[in-house]
Structure 1
Amino acid sequence: MTSSSLKIDGLLGMVTLRLKENNFLKWRYQLESVLEGHDLFGYFDGSVIPLLKFAIMDEEGVTSEVTAAYKEWLKIDKALLSFLIATLSDDAIEYVIGSKTSRDAWLSLTDQYATVSRARINQLKTEIQTAQKGGDSVDKFLLRLKHIKDQLAIASVPVSADDLMISVLNGLSSEYDMIKTVFVARETSISFKDFRTQLLTTEQAIKA
């Protein structure tokens, strides 16, 4: 991709979120999707490396002449750095000041927002194990637990689909006792999609 074909305004139009303290996962997912769709995420993850900066003339070394390829790489990288900065809140910008490349800025943001303390991990584990549906709809309850699951994933603490389903069952009221009994007694596994479908069916039956 050439710098002339890199339309930063067009990329910005696809990003609806600005990075804040509590939305890193959603922001990162949206940003990665946009950049990967334009074959540009390699500048952020390091798979697209800076090209040779100076032209090698002979065995004695390099000249001071910057190569055209490096100039082109630098134009794209600086454009992407500007794009990244434009998706940040005022607070988040503080963490990228001084970054020379888009990758430097990306790593700084990841270090700041993706690092989860041990105390926070324990808190999230407790939340997912003790969450109650209460007055929420089934879908809202499932989304609440999925959000906790995603936060744990950022901290490299994966929650399996089975464990997530058990947490959901534990948080259901007595009205769902029958379906809880059925799921606990199952000898075969079930996909989370089918699990959700059956919960929604039960919810509708309870309302009726």
Structure 2
Amino acid sequence: MGGATIPNDIEPTHPLIVVDLTNIIKLKNTNYLSWKLQLESTLIGYGLFKFLDGSHAAPPSTLTTNNVSSSNPAYTTWVRQDKLLFGSMIGTLDSSIVPLVSRATTTKEAWDILAHTFARHSRGHAKLVKANMKSITKGTQTITEYMNAIRICADQLAVLGEPYKPDDLIERVLEGLDDDKYQSVIDSVNGRDTVISFDELHEKLLIKEVSIRKTSTSTPLPVTAHATTTRSHPPNTYSTDSYNRNSFPNPPKSAAPYKKHNQTNTNTKPQGYQGKCQWCHTLGHSLYRCPIFQEKFPNAKPTLPPSSTSQRPPQAHVATTAATSQPTNWLLDTGASHHVTHDLSNLSLHHPYDGTEEIVIGSAHGGTSYQGSN
């Protein structure tokens, strides 16, 4: 912010001051006190506030000497200086406020209009500000935005002659937090013997806000996914996990489930997940090793799953075929190591699978399965 002088041809010894007020905050319906404080301080520094407080009234427009009237150079200088100041002050007003001073002819008239509009004490005005202040809650605002909104209302009430008590102001801030995550700060403030200052409370809430953001953005287990496509099985070919049961009659309910030999050895260590037969539902083997299925259907050759030294059960999320309607909501299984989908746009984090293994999932549409794709 700075000012400059321009020559005054009417009174060369009294140059005119051009004040740059571009850095003054814009006056709106809610910040009159802050705007007034900044503008007043600046103009006092330049020695021009006298144009606003009425201490430097306009001199007579004419001078009479020996019954002869002539224009007064001092009046011309005063008018020019006042207009320069008036124009600069208009630049500090929000566009919605400018019409209020459109009929003012001097800087003082505009100043008085704004003071009467925003600082005039009335019961209705104060009641409206209090209602606005009571309705303020944090919601989705940041702590700084939330507390600034409360401070503005408190400043307005101070201008109207009804300032908020410090303890009432702190209580109003705590009431509007409406978030259990700030409960520790609320309990700490309520447990104090002395009233905390507004600025100190602001600092404590900012620290808590940063802590909450760090907690909410942490992802201890990254989610990965691979794209999937659909394919049809060749005739008489059946995958381990997705063969068409409709092609075979169901096993008789009276059939005794197949059991592995030597299961009476109680000293055998647990071997973890051993699979479950899709035909006889016996734990310990899968379809391609089921003797009942092989005896009943000797020509069927279920796909042999890839060998693995790990007996950990496969974990994956549900995938659907492109022909079926896609669910709009996903329920992610946090215990799954990977998730699969045929549409990468369903996932925010993903990378292609470049291995040779396939993901085979049971299908209700006769021989359709999913496989990983690059």
Query: What CA distance in whole angstroms lies between the structure 1 residues aligned with 2:110 and 2:130?
Result: 30
The Cα shift of 1:116 comes to 6.9
State the superposition RMSD in angstroms. 3.6
The Cα shift of 1:168 comes to 0.8
The Cα shift of 1:89 comes to 6.1
Larger RCO (CA under 8 A, 6+ residues apart): 1
| Structure 1 residues 63 and 114, CA gap change in structure 2 (3 angstroms) | farther
The Cα shift of 1:91 comes to 5.9
> For residue 187 of structure 2, what is the aligned residue in structure 1?
181
CA deviation digits over 1:47-96, x for unaligned, max 9? Answer: 333346666879xxx97445544443232123323333455566645443
Query: What CA distance in whole angstroms lies between the structure 2 residues aligned with 1:7 and 1:178?
Result: 53
Is 1:36 matched up with 2:53? Answer: no
Structure 2 segments unaligned to the other structure (5+ residues): 6-12, 216-374
The Cα shift of 1:142 comes to 0.8
Shifted more, 43-52 versus 25-34: the winner is 25-34
The Cα shift of 1:191 comes to 2.5
Query: What CA distance in whole angstroms lies between the structure 1 residues aligned with 2:190 and 2:28?
Result: 40
Is 1:46 matched up with 2:54? Answer: yes
The Cα shift of 1:24 comes to 4.7
CA deviation digits over 1:85-132, x for unaligned, max 9? Answer: 455566645443443322122212332344476444323313323532
Write out aligned runs for 1:21-100 (5 A): 24=32, 27-51=35-59, 64-88=69-93, 92-100=97-105
Identity %, equivalent residues: 30
Work out whether residues 15 and 34 of structure 1, in 8 Å CA contact, stay in contact via their aligned partners in 2: no
* Structure (1 or 2) with the larger CA radius of gyration: 2
- SS class of match (2:153): helix
Using the size of structure 1 for normalisation, the TM-score is 0.72
Work out whether residues 130 and 170 of structure 1, in 8 Å CA contact, stay in contact via their aligned partners in 2: no
Query: What CA distance in whole angstroms lies between the structure 1 residues aligned with 2:43 and 2:103?
Result: 22
Query: What CA distance in whole angstroms lies between the structure 2 residues aligned with 1:47 and 1:99?
Result: 18
The match for 2:137 among 132, 138, 147 is 132
The Cα shift of 1:186 comes to 1.5
More helix by share: 1
- SS class of match (2:15): helix
Partner AA of 1:129 in structure 2: K
Structure 1 segments unaligned to the other structure (5+ residues): none
Write out aligned runs for 1:10-21 (5 A): 11-15=20-24, 17=26
Write out aligned runs for 1:112-131 (5 A): 112-115=117-120, 118-131=123-136
Write out aligned runs for 1:154-193 (5 A): 154-172=159-177, 173-193=179-199
Query: What CA distance in whole angstroms lies between the structure 1 residues aligned with 2:36 and 2:144?
Result: 24
Query: What CA distance in whole angstroms lies between the structure 2 residues aligned with 1:29 and 1:143?
Result: 17
Partner AA of 2:163 in structure 1: P
